[in-house]
Amino acid sequence: MPVAILSGPATHRSPLIHSMDTQTITCPYCGEPLTIAIDVSVRRQEYIEDCQICCRPITLTVERDDDADTAYVEARSEDT
Ligand SMILES: [Zn+2]
């Protein structure tokens, strides 16, 4: 009798969306490209991060697109 090797559906549930991702934005003040770490486990968030070049506060809006499996980052100056 040949030995039947059962290779059923293995438990490979590696998450497709990593909780942390990096995105490159452009500073609205000095125009320098900045690499920021974003938490893509949150659907939508807004926070302030200081520019690594000119140290001015950038308002970041991170929005995750579930369909496209991507996250959008919008960088705005804090000017009102
Ligand atoms: Zn800057």
Q: How many angstroms does the Cα of residue 78 sit away from the middle of ligand 1? A: 12
Q: How many angstroms does the Cα of residue 61 sit away from the middle of ligand 1? A: 16
| Domain annotation covers residue 51 | yes
| Domain annotation covers residue 48 | yes
Q: How many angstroms does the Cα of residue 33 sit away from the middle of ligand 1? A: 8
| Domain annotation covers residue 14 | no
Domain that holds residue 66: 20-77
Q: How many angstroms does the Cα of residue 62 sit away from the middle of ligand 1? A: 18
Predicted TM-score of the model (pTM)? 0.67
**How many structural domains are present in the chain?**
1
Q: How many angstroms does the Cα of residue 25 sit away from the middle of ligand 1? A: 10
For each successive 10 residues of the chain (80 residues), what is the average pLDDT?
Answer: 63 58 92 90 91 95 85 86
CA distance 80 to 63: 22
| Domain annotation covers residue 39 | yes
| Domain annotation covers residue 72 | yes
Rounded to 5°, angle at Cα 57 from 24 and 17:
35
